[in-house]
Structure 1
Amino acid sequence: MRRLSGVLLGSVLLAALAAGGLNGCSALPSLQPTPSPSAPAPSASGSVVIGSPASVGPRPSASSTKKPKPHKPTKPHKPSTPAKPRTPATPRTATGGSTSTYPWHTDIVSTTFWVGEIFDPNASDGSQVLSTYNSRWMKDYGGCDGKQSGGDCRTERRTAANDWFPTSMTPKENPFYLDLPFDDINDRTGLATRADVIPWAHEARYASILNDRNQSLMKNRWVELRKGSRTCFAQIEDAGPGQYHDAAYVFGHDDARPANQRYGGAGMDVSPAVNGCLGFAELDGDTDRVSWRFVDDEDVPSGPWTKVITRSGVR
């Protein structure tokens, strides 16, 4: 989550709300998840080659450290013992699963966040009007990723009939988004260590930007998520929850648990579209669990997550 002072946050919010109007959302083909096979079955077709390194943009203001994200006012959560790490089965999407070789992170608590949400106006990272990678996130997205109610931007239940898209606006960027607790732009440790810990850092298209803090190696990267028999894909557009350089969890190969201890020990936030696509039990809770892994652009199959792809850089 991006740091912002109380006064500046108010100004950014007013400007973003003024700029992001609510439009009608056109209906898209539905996605019907199907039961998983007993073992992973890589897709032989249906993948698309998309995305590029986040491009240079004006450097957002940054702080040397990040404060832990304050607890959302959700229902009390009774801590439970994490299930034994395991490799999940491979459910299919409408066009097949990915062929990624990145390691799986299993049984991870996932909370839900959305563009335009303000859960604590007094916290340095209490707003999704902006993200750590985009100081005008709500404006660029097209407005509140949900419904406006009494001046508040609130989430909503999504459906397969609408491809999990918002019902009251038309997003200009991908509604399938998430965050992970590694900020390679505004966190000093994240920026200083990204060349050593991010697996794709030395690929040809990223190697030339390692010393440019105005370009991110994380923004717009794809992640494959699974819950039960459902598989969905989403792009990284923010950092959190609670931690900002948890490399052992985010990039480790031993299925390490997240360092974050808030929100039920959540290891990621996902958008309302991902919440609906994966069939979360809670609209805005901290009890749903997922398994996830990184995927390269060429391993992302076609689906509702490729209807609108985010390609904007750091702003």
Structure 2
Amino acid sequence: MTRSPSAGAPVTPRLRRGVTGALAIGITATALSGCSFVTGCVELSGCGDTVATTPTDALGYPVHTGIVATTFWVGEIFDPTADDGSQVYSTYDANWLANYGGCDGTTAGGTCETEARSAANDWFPTEMTPLENPFYLDLPFDDVNDPAAFARRDEVVPWAGEEPYVSHRGDPDFSYMKNRWVAISYGGATCYAQIEDAGPGEYDDAEYVFGDDDRRPLNARYGGAGMDVSPAVVGCLGFDELNGEQAGVSWTFVDDADVPPGPWTTVVTTSQVQ
């Protein structure tokens, strides 16, 4: 969830404040009843006989369950009167629309609208070929533009002590969050997406994003949403509405090596802050 630039002003990322949730399960490409999991995974919505044996996976990422997710897409302008009402750019990319390749949906009447996605083309957009991963989401920890989040990212981000993050301590042009993978589960399906923005509603909710107590998001808007997800994720998970609020979502951080092959790896976003 991003802030739109003033008319005629340079398109640059602005400050924001957001929320999100983190659920951590062990992930492999093995599937049972529609869920990707490993032994000891936390029980997710629709995971059939999967048994919860531990609140964290082998990598130590905490679990968040029962999260509300809303839909957003590159090129969306959901509130032209609000500072954070445009997805023409993201908190990490001042040229998100152009770098992505255009409207991640359908252009009708001069506006960029979302569209239904199909497994027939791997939930990719139907009117354009994306240059970046169409499986994306935001979480409410902006570690670049929010001063408080930036100041404590080395303390709260679990992978801050690894490379390449260690080499970029104090670097405001390098995000610890951008491009990180998340596994998202709903209704028996698990899909994977990369973090490409921050929000919704809050931008320094580290206790929710990285906490180990299944904390609820600070955000009170949009049904108390803890994340926004792209149209590809909406289609892949089979949300009830094309553009609405979906309750009952679970998610977890996933390291690159643990992301199974799928439509989400067809185009992988690698660019850093721009």
TM-score by length of 2: 0.84
Q: Which amino acid aligns with 1:3?
A: R
Q: Which residue of 2 aligns with 1:161?
A: 120
CA-atom RMSD, angstroms?
A: 2.3
- Pick the aligned partner of 1:242 from 201, 222, 230: 201
Query: 1:208 aligns to what SS in structure 2?
Result: helix
Q: Which residue of 2 aligns with 1:3?
A: 3
How far apart are the structure 2 equivalents of 1:297 and 1:113? 24
TM superposition shift of 1:6: 2.6
User: Which whole-Å deviations, capped at 9, do the CAs of 1:148-191 have from their partners, x for residues lacking one?
Assistant: 00000000010111100001110000000000000000001110
Between 195-204 and 166-175, the greater mean CA deviation after superposition: 195-204
Closer, same or farther: CA 161–4 of 1 in aligned 2, 3 Å:
closer
- Pick the aligned partner of 1:88 from 25, 44, 48: 44
Q: Which residue of 2 aligns with 1:41?
A: 38
Query: 1:249 aligns to what SS in structure 2?
Result: helix
Q: Is the 8 A contact 2:33 2:46 kept in 1?
A: no
Q: Work out whether 1:123 is the aligned partner of 2:79.
A: no
Q: Is the 8 A contact 1:220 1:237 kept in 2?
A: yes
How far apart are the structure 2 equivalents of 1:312 and 1:40? 29
Between 203-212 and 112-121, the greater mean CA deviation after superposition: 203-212
How far apart are the structure 2 equivalents of 1:196 and 1:244? 16
Q: Which residue of 2 aligns with 1:284?
A: 243
How far apart are the structure 2 equivalents of 1:202 and 1:41? 26
TM superposition shift of 1:3: 3.4
Equivalent residues in 2 for 1:69-108, closer than 5 Å: 87-88=43-44, 91=47, 101-108=60-67
The runs of 5 or more residues in structure 2 that have no matched partner are 12-30, 49-56
Closer, same or farther: CA 8–286 of 1 in aligned 2, 3 Å:
farther
Structure 1 runs (4+) greater than 3 angstroms displaced:
1-5, 89-92, 98-101
How far apart are the structure 1 equivalents of 2:46 and 2:149? 32
Q: Which amino acid aligns with 2:38?
A: A
Equivalent residues in 2 for 1:1-315, closer than 5 Å: 1-8=1-8, 35-36=33-34, 40-41=37-38, 87-88=43-44, 91=47, 101-315=60-274
How far apart are the structure 2 equivalents of 1:8 and 1:100? 46
How far apart are the structure 2 equivalents of 1:224 and 1:242? 21
Q: Is the 8 A contact 1:40 1:90 kept in 2?
A: no
How far apart are the structure 2 equivalents of 1:295 and 1:310? 15
Q: Which amino acid aligns with 1:310?
A: T
Closer, same or farther: CA 281–143 of 1 in aligned 2, 3 Å:
same
Q: Which amino acid aligns with 2:122?
A: D
Q: Is the 8 A contact 2:99 2:131 kept in 1?
A: yes
Instruction: Percent identity, please.
Output: 60
Q: Is the 8 A contact 1:180 1:241 kept in 2?
A: yes
How far apart are the structure 2 equivalents of 1:204 and 1:147? 39
Closer, same or farther: CA 302–100 of 1 in aligned 2, 3 Å:
farther
How far apart are the structure 1 equivalents of 2:163 and 2:194? 21
The runs of 5 or more residues in structure 1 that have no matched partner are 13-32, 43-85, 93-97
TM superposition shift of 1:205: 2.1
TM superposition shift of 1:90: 8.2
TM-score by length of 1: 0.73
Q: Is the 8 A contact 1:182 1:250 kept in 2?
A: yes
How far apart are the structure 1 equivalents of 2:73 and 2:137? 9
How far apart are the structure 2 equivalents of 1:100 and 1:275? 27
How far apart are the structure 1 equivalents of 2:62 and 2:151? 23
Query: 1:294 aligns to what SS in structure 2?
Result: strand
